[in-house]
Every structure is written in structure tokens, then in C-alpha cells.
Amino acid sequence: VTSGGALGTPLFFMSALPIAIVTIGWGTLAGIAAVLAGLVGLWAFVSWKAALLHALVIAGPMAFYGYLVGLGRPLDAEGRNFEWYPLGRIFTAMVLITAATIVGVGVVIGFNIEATASDVADLLVAMGQASGELGAPTREDLMPALLLYMRLMPFALGMFWLVLTAFNLWLGGRIVRLSGRLKRGDDLIAETLSLPMWMAGVFVAAALLAGLDGSLGLIAGVVAGAAGMGFAMVGFAVLHVFVRGN
């Protein structure tokens, strides 16, 4: 990411995958060691802010999800059969933690809709002037659309980050299963993916509050985006089961 290379952004988005593989395949202590290794490495070669951001937003949550995936209690004295932590509860934790981490980052770095839209407009106008194109949009032309985009950004970020996190956890589990180190049984994801009913109330309340101006509206937008995408994923799972059954 810092070098600006073509692989920088994809590698950043997949940076939680090694944490998922290590935690699911080798246990919680190994996952914690991986988080600390990433923290030290980023601190040494990038910056302490990047290190803390990665640990608290990406590596730490993924290690926790990996811990939940491997959490189970034996059903017999020999320890051959286990009752594993329900997939629906893991997904619920993922929705809540996704929203919380994004809100936390926003509080730390600050996010102002008008200021951000103004900065982007200035950048786009400067790029248009440098290209020498005739009829390039002015700052006044760009601001209405940019304000709308910035207003929708909390929704989009909550939705995108939940999907990305779920994908990394799923892929990590698949890789560990291929290696033969996955102790958890083969979850029927489409049949067991769920969210509790009270999460619907959280989504509705957040969606209503997201229309407010100021910090409360931005926070509500993140929560509504994460919860809404969570229910969308559950809906796709139900649709998958229905289509497969027919």
C-alpha cells in the first residue's frame, strides 16, 4: 500500500487471511503470536499508527473470530465428538465488531463530510486543469455529487468490510481444511448462517438515525451498513438453500 504498487491494495485487503489460517489451524496462542508479529513488523518498517490500526482493526478481530471457530466442548469422555460454537453467533460478533472498529477508526482519525468532499473536489479540479481538457467540471459542479458520496460512505464501508472479513475467515478455514488441521466439523454455512432477531431492531434504529447530521448520523450509517449487509448475506444463504433444494 505504501509503495503504491499494483498489489498493494489487494494484499492489504487480504492481510487478515494469514491470521485466520494460523489461528484456526494452530490455535489461539499461535494467532496471538501472529498478531504481535504483525504489530512489531509494521511498527518497525512503517509506523506505530499503522501498526496499531492493523492490530486493532484487522489482525485482532480476525484472531478473535478464529478463536471462536475453534471453540468447542467435548460431548464424550474420549473427546471424539464436540459441540462447536454456533456459526450464527460468530457471524453476529463479526457484524458488531465490524461496526465498532470502523466507528473507532473514524473517531480517532476524524471524518468530516464537508471537508472531505471539498478536498476531493479540489483534487479533481486540479487534475482536470492539469489534463487541459475543455469543459472540465468546476468545483461547484462536483460538490453536490461528492457530498452525496461522502454521506453514503459510512454505509458502504460497513457493508464492504463485513463481506471482506467474512471472505477472509471462510478462505482461511478452507485452506486449513485442505491441510488437514481443521478440527471443527464441516459446517453447512448456508443452513446455519443466521442473525438474532434483536439485530433487526438494531438495523432499523440505525437506518432511521443515519439520516441525522453530525457524528450520530455517521455512526448510525456504519451500523446500518454492517447490519444490513449481514441480513443480506443471511438472505443469500436462504436463497441458496431454496434454489439448491429445487
Q: What is the pLDDT of residue 129?
A: 73
Helix (H) or strand (E) holding 82: strand 82-84
Residue 82 backbone phi and psi in degrees, to 5 = -130, 150
Across the 246 residues of the chain, what is the mean pLDDT of every consecutive 10-residue run?
Answer: 62 91 95 95 89 92 96 80 91 97 85 77 77 71 82 91 96 93 86 95 96 88 96 95 80
Q: What is the pLDDT of residue 5?
A: 57
Which residues, at least 6 apart from 10, have a Cβ–Cβ distance to it below 8 Å?
Answer: none
Give residue for cell 454492517. Answer: 226
Give residue for cell 492539469. Answer: 130
Which three cell numbers, joined as nine digits, stand for 2?
A: 505504501
Question: What share of residues in the chain are helix, strand, coil (percent, to 5)?
Answer: 75, 0, 20
Which three cell numbers, joined as nine digits, stand for 62?
A: 480476525
User: CB of 68 within 8 A of CB of 165?
Assistant: no
Give the integer Cα–Cα distance in Å for 177 and 168.
14
Q: What is the pLDDT of residue 132?
A: 67
DSSP assignment string, 146-190:
HHHHHHHHHHHHHHHHHHHHHHHHHHHHHHHHHHT---S----HH
**pLDDT tens-digit readout, 160-196:** 999 999 999 999 999 999 998 888 877 889 999 999 9
Give the integer Cα–Cα distance in Å for 124 and 145.
13
Model's pTM, two decimal places?
0.87
Q: What is the pLDDT of residue 134?
A: 64
